[in-house]
Amino acid sequence: MKLPLICPEKECCRGKKECMPGKGLPKIVLVGSPNVGKSSLFNALSGSYTVVSNYPGTSVEVSRGKSRIGDLEYEIIDTPGMYSLLPVSEEERVSQRLLFDEKTFVCLHVVDARNLRRMLSFTLQLLEARLPLILVLNMMDEAEERGIEIDIQRLSLSLGIPVVGTVSSEGKGIEELKASIMKYSHEKLTQEKTTPEIDYGPEVEPYISKIEGLLETVEETGISKRSLALLLLQGDRTALDFVYSPGEVYRHKIEKCEAGKNDFEELQNEQFQKLAETASVKAGVPLSYLFTLKRQEPVNEIVEQVMGVQGKEKEAAKETKNEKKKRETKKVFLAENIDSVLTHPLLGIPVLLLVLYFGLYRFVGVFAAGTLVDLLENRLFGEYINPLVTTWFTSLVPYPALQDLFVGEYGIFTQAVTYAIALILPIVGAFFLVFSIIEDTGYLPRLGLLLDGMFKKIGLSGRAVIPMVLGFGCSTMATMVTRTLETKRERLISTILLALAIPCSAQLGIILSVLSGNPNGLIVWAGVIVLEFAFIGYLAARILPGEAPTFILEMPPLRIPRLSNIAVKTYSRMHWYFLEVLPLFVLASVLIWIGRLTGLFALALKAMEYPTVWIGLPSDAADIFLFGFFRRDFGAAGLYGMHDAGLLTGVQLVVAAVTLTLFMPCIAQFMMTIKERGFKMALAISGFIFPSAFLAGFIVNTLLTALGVKL
């Protein structure tokens, strides 16, 4: 997931389109498969920061930065991972579109050196597209650990482009890469170009030429006619859009004819389709399959020439190297063993529970939300800062209405700022710290593998584990990451579940800490939430139309997290979160203030009292839910306050916690849901959640009371 850049010169654009740090400069675009180190290379080149993780599919947005290389400034663009020029998922389409649209100075195709055989095919595609290209062999250290040797010079010769080996996480090879960018000249290389064009065979070549003939170039652009023709033959949507949309650089020759645009599009669409179908019949297999196989032939040839796995004789000859290798093999061996425990169908579950217990409960719940918050909120702010500020402000501003706005019960300082800094920040920070560690080790894909079977029952694949776990940190962020899921249906189900049943870390932390003195209550709460999650997921999987999801996920090797990366990542996420939450907290304070002045707040509170009393809570608890409209965690913070004051019984506390967890998404998540799923869908999801949260609270209260349970 792309979080806002933290640029050194404070040019941070928070991911907004209109602000581009390096606008107008020559563009360097990073492309490549997921999880090959594009983001860390981006950081190394641009000196700014995007989140680097050890799982595929974290970058869902394009990041832009600026860099000075030699005497020139460049715009550096980091793209979501893509496996080939023909996109399968939405985020791949984002990258593909970018390659179509942007005029690049040079593309850096970043590959994982170990997997050259698998990734070189995309290099050939990029060359076929006539994109100016430098190949970056990243993670050279991991390749060496496995005894893989690559003849970089020879590779460069056979491809006809510069090739540079790097270890981007350690900054190795970055200077060489910069030197190679400085020297880069596309024209010179194309003149000397040595790579022969790939021949896709007599069955399909005529069709490729035929489509190429239908296209005409209006001006110089990113992608070659031949590439476009190949994509059109494979029915690629982006390529079709590109050919048809007015003002694009490629136009159809016949566009000048008299026919209306719609008729024309239909006509041409049919024409492409017909050509593709005939070609596919001739070839006997789907064209994408054929093209890939044909491309793999030269790839295999090149790989045979340039890549070698260290021979045994060689090892014996070099004893020191041999020893080193032994040690490294041992390291690989240990990782293997841990890996087989993590992915074990039986042993994997207790490991997961341990991670949840220590990571979530002990660290986020008890330590951060309990000890740390107590220290910050009650002591530091409650006893020292707030009384001081209140006295100072009251003596300075003699108007009670303004005093109320800033330092009153719901004041901007006494409530919004205090909650944000003393309550929410430590909890969210603790969660992001744990999440970053888990993420960097490569545990999340293993969790996906472990839980795929269970997730299938609720209409999701194991891939959805990533947004779901992230949802425990910030559901808003997680809603954004649902973009990495493959089908619309999966994206919808996960958005619903995130809005409904997954509590964010602030909420979770407070609920855990409020209920930590009440283990039975904690179990009831957790049980109800898990049940609701499973029930709604199961229902959604049954009701929503569409195909069942399939699961395929790359397993990165287990890695020991790098301390600096974790620190920077945690900080960056906290920064994002804080900028997200503080304005909303302040807004909430202002709205409440206006509401209290005009009497609307009392009215809304009165209205909220009905469902509140209906689920067996004191009417005072209504304001917890009203706060919940502004932020889920804000509401949870109110719960914390009531619990502190001893206003709730055990059963009431559990009922309130259940209702609040299932309650409406916060404003930020609601906005994100609109952005990702559309306004209607967001409204429908909220319309469903509001009554169902209270219904669940009602049922829990009725059952517990009827059974005479004391918690």
From 111-119, 179-187, 247-255, 379-387, give the range in contact with another protein by CB under 8 A.
111-119
- C-beta closer to another protein: residue 236 or 580: 236
User: For another protein, what does the binding mask look like between residues 40 and 79, x meaning CB under 8 A?
Assistant: ----------------------------------------
- C-beta closer to another protein: residue 450 or 693: 450
Least gap, CB of 96 to another protein (angstroms): 12
**Contact residue for another protein among 97, 130, 146, 193 (CB under 8 A):** 146
**With 0-12 CB in 10 A as exposed, 13-18 as middle and 19+ as buried, what is 558?**
middle
Cβ within 8 Å of residue 109, ≥6 positions away? 31, 32, 122, 123, 126, 133, 134, 135, 136
Contact in structure between 558 and 142 (CB atoms under 8 Å): no
Q: Is 282 in the site for another protein (CB under 8 A)?
A: no
**Contact residue for another protein among 20, 148, 249, 699 (CB under 8 A):** 148
Q: Is 117 in the site for another protein (CB under 8 A)?
A: yes
Q: Give me the amino acid identity at 122.
A: F
Q: Is 448 in the site for another protein (CB under 8 A)?
A: yes
Cβ within 8 Å of residue 195, ≥6 positions away? 124, 127, 158, 159, 160
User: For another protein, what does the binding mask look like between residues 390 and 409, x meaning CB under 8 A?
Assistant: --------------------
Least gap, CB of 168 to another protein (angstroms): 18
Q: Is 355 in the site for another protein (CB under 8 A)?
A: no
Report the alpha-carbon distance of residue 399 to residue 318 in Å, rounded: 83
Q: Is 20 in the site for another protein (CB under 8 A)?
A: no
Residue 673, CA atoms < 13 Å, CB-side half-sphere: 25
Structure tokens that stand for 193 in this block: 């170009």
Report the alpha-carbon distance of residue 467 to residue 481 in Å, rounded: 6
Report the alpha-carbon distance of residue 354 to residue 369 in Å, rounded: 19
Structure tokens that stand for 151 in this block: 């003849």
Using CB under 8 A as the binding rule, the residues of this chain from 508 to 567 that contact another protein are 550-555, 557
From 452-460, 471-479, 582-590, 667-675, give the range in contact with another protein by CB under 8 A.
452-460
Least gap, CB of 453 to another protein (angstroms): 6
Q: Tell me the pairing of strands 106-112 and 133-138.
A: parallel
Least gap, CB of 29 to another protein (angstroms): 19
Per DSSP, the residues of 361-415 read IIIIIIIIIIIIHIIIIIIIIIIIIHHHHHHHHHHH---HHHHHHHHSTT-IIII
Phi-psi region of 235 (alpha: psi -120 to 50; beta: other; left: phi over 0): left
**Contact residue for another protein among 75, 145, 452, 490 (CB under 8 A):** 452
**Contact residue for another protein among 300, 378, 598, 705 (CB under 8 A):** 300
- Beta-carbon neighbour count of residue 300 at 10 Å? 13
- Beta-carbon neighbour count of residue 314 at 10 Å? 13
Q: Tell me the pairing of strands 133-138 and 163-165.
A: parallel
Least gap, CB of 199 to another protein (angstroms): 14
Q: Is 286 in the site for another protein (CB under 8 A)?
A: yes
Which of 482, 493, 423, 496 has the alpha carbon at shortest distance from 687? Answer: 496
Report the alpha-carbon distance of residue 531 to residue 692 in Å, rounded: 13
Least gap, CB of 285 to another protein (angstroms): 5
> How many binding residues for another protein (CB under 8 A)?
42
Which of 41, 50, 38 has the alpha carbon at shortest distance from 12? Answer: 50
- C-beta closer to another protein: residue 416 or 444: 444
Using CB under 8 A as the binding rule, the residues of this chain from 335 to 354 that contact another protein are 340, 343, 345, 348
- C-beta closer to another protein: residue 439 or 452: 452
Q: Is 284 in the site for another protein (CB under 8 A)?
A: yes
Report the alpha-carbon distance of residue 496 to residue 362 in Å, rounded: 28
Least gap, CB of 448 to another protein (angstroms): 7
- C-beta closer to another protein: residue 307 or 639: 307
From 58-66, 110-118, 376-384, 568-576, give the range in contact with another protein by CB under 8 A.
110-118
Residues found near another protein in the complex (CB under 8 A)? 83-84, 86, 88, 114-115, 117-119, 121, 146, 148, 284-286, 288-289, 292-293, 296, 300, 340, 343, 345, 348, 445, 448-453, 456, 461-462, 550-555, 557
